[in-house]
Amino acid sequence: MATLPDVILQFASHLNSKGRKESTIKRYCYDLEECFRYFKKVNESFSTLQVQDFNNYFYFLTSERGYNEKTMHRIYVVLNQFYKFLHSNNASIENIIPFTNYLAAPSRALSTDDFISEEEEKKLLSIVQSTTDLSEKQLKARSFLMDRNEIMIRFMLFYGLTLKELIDLQMRDINFALNELVVHSKEGTKRTIILTKEDRVLLYNYFVTIPEPVRPHYHSTHPLFVAFDFNRMTFHWVYDTDSPKALTEIAFQKMLRLEVKRAGLRKGLCSQHLRNTFILRKIKEGLLVEDIQQLVGLKTSVSLKRYFQFYQENEYPNKKEL
């Protein structure tokens, strides 16, 4: 087997040839690197791994990392696709992932674990603006990141944005004068969101904390949310493209994990929990399926069925229908 970096590059090239999006390829490669680091840490060679080794790895991810069902399913898919790729290039390498004790299909039924509670919500939003349990280096950067981190979380929790929608936002999508934000969904649709005055101010405060030389330009395709360079203690500017560096999905997830840990919340809370909670909140407010579908940028209402089912089972457990 080729060296690890070569294998990942080859797999990434294979995914690219299949037309996979760059963000998907990065996610796959990140999951593989995490997997390989784990096996290196436990002194296991990737070329000699057996089914039980992956059973142990999946157990580690659920028990130690606290990964939720959706994340586990993604990692299973990544490893399964990776082994298929290896087998296609070397028939002696067997795809052992389907033989692990992980169930490949995630349950579509929602549970209370798929949402963030009111108490968890308060703790999370409170910790974002605090300096509790931060390192000296993190403290130096905190004044730049407080407002940025909070408004990103609020966009998911109170406006129902997905992680990809959040990361893809550009300066041309925001109109501070009208309190409007245009969100582009992966289905190609777009929707206009009216921000509360509080959130518009928070977003603007983040924007003006970015030093002017590296600040994204109004009405441009520059990213709205910019990556931070901890070495230089300023926001990251890419001189090759003469534009700010967009915050990545992975960087957001890392940030959210840190805030969840600092707030003392359960492991595994992620961006999907925030969006789920927004959807459930709108159901509780009495909005119709069609209205929620439009609010969260869905082409069809099929995926909302399980949210209504969860609401019905928890709010009206003795009724068959709402």
Per residue in 236-277, pLDDT (tens digit) is 999 999 999 999 988 898 999 999 999 999 988 889 899 999
The fold of 118-269 is hpI Integrase; Chain A (1.10.443)
pLDDT digits (tens, 9 = 90+) for 69-113: 778 889 999 999 999 999 898 888 888 898 887 754 444 678 898
What is the mean pLDDT of the segment spanning 201-220?
96
How much is the pLDDT for 311? 94
Q: Looking at residue 317, what is its pLDDT? A: 53
Provide the CB-side half-sphere exposure for 317 (13 A, CA).
1
What's the whole-number average pLDDT of the chain? 89
Q: What are 285's two structure tokens?
A: 């407010």
So what's the pLDDT on residue 70? 79
Least confident span in 134-138, 148-152, 167-171: 134-138
Mean pLDDT, rounded, for 195-205:
97
Query: 4-99, superfamily in CATH?
Result: Tyrosine recombinase, N-terminal domain (1.10.150.130)
Q: Tell me the average pLDDT across 291-317.
A: 86
Domains 4-99 and 118-269 share a fold: no
Residue-range domain boundaries for the chain: 4-99, 118-269
pLDDT at site 186:
72
